Amino acid sequence: MTSNNKIALKKQVDSSMLFMGAIREAMHDRNYLPAEGSPASLDNAHPHYAEAEWSGALHEQSDVQAQMSLLASIQHLSLAIEDAGCQPAAFIVLVRASLEAAASSNFLSSASITSVAEGARRGLNEMLHGAFQQWRALDQYGEVADAATKLTTINQWLYKASSYPDLGQINRAHERRSPAAPHAGDQRPTISSMIDDLFPTGDGKRFGRWLYSAVSAPAHSSAHGFAIAGAQILLPDGSQTIDQEAELAHDRVARFAVTGLSAVSTAAKSVFARYGWPWSDLES
């Protein structure tokens, strides 16, 4: 990498970290609480679906999860940008994790949520999805008692949700021959679909799904994943070799970083709008 490229890359790293740091600082300065008159505060003023089984109101848990996912996305991308492509496989895996978290944050705080019931439903399904994954892992590892406890929790949540018709029909997908996460109303979207929402194209080509597939390849140790990371090299004679010292070129680092920052920005705008926090302060 030339000295000019290194300087340009350092400037990009510094500006990226400054932007993400400003988001975290703005959230911290507001104590992670909604502003008066914001959609989140108006919903909180009238408790809905507050049950002991859920440890509080579902829509409030959804809001908190949106914030946590946004902060996780920033953490992942910060580590990736600090690495600046020196460890390509790890860099891309971190970008992938950042996209996943940003997509979840955006989904849980989206302006498309026009009712308390919809926000609560998304929050419940997020809880059910996580609990299902935990139950499956415990069961498969032979942790019978802990798996049974987790399954009991899932069923309690579903039973309580069934008493609220506006949350939608209860689907006990975990009881199928091929189990899946149970859900209320519409099934939780796939992660690639949620990433699509971060990058709407308008032409139906689903850039988010393509992007997620590309950044997932190194995580899954796919052959083309090593090629994307720059470690697998095709020689002129057609043979292949490995370069374990390979680094991503600065322009490829920049493309990944800008894409990740775009995802963080979209998710942050969604959370800030939900909480009534001014976004203009960050842009300035």
**What band does 234 get if pLDDT is binned at 50, 70 and 90?**
low
Q: Which of 231 and 279 is assigned the larger pLDDT?
A: 279
pLDDT tens, position by position, 201-220: 777 778 888 888 888 877 76
pLDDT tens, position by position, 54-100: 877 888 888 999 999 999 999 999 998 887 767 777 888 899 999 99
Relative to beta strand 56-57, strand 50-51 is antiparallel
Measured CA to CA, the distance from residue 221 to residue 284 in angstroms comes to 41
Among 17-26, 46-55, 80-89, 196-205, top mean pLDDT goes to 17-26
Residue 240: strand pairing partners: 234
Tokens of 68: 């946590």
- Note the pTM of the prediction, 2 decimals: 0.87
Measured CA to CA, the distance from residue 30 to residue 270 in angstroms comes to 16
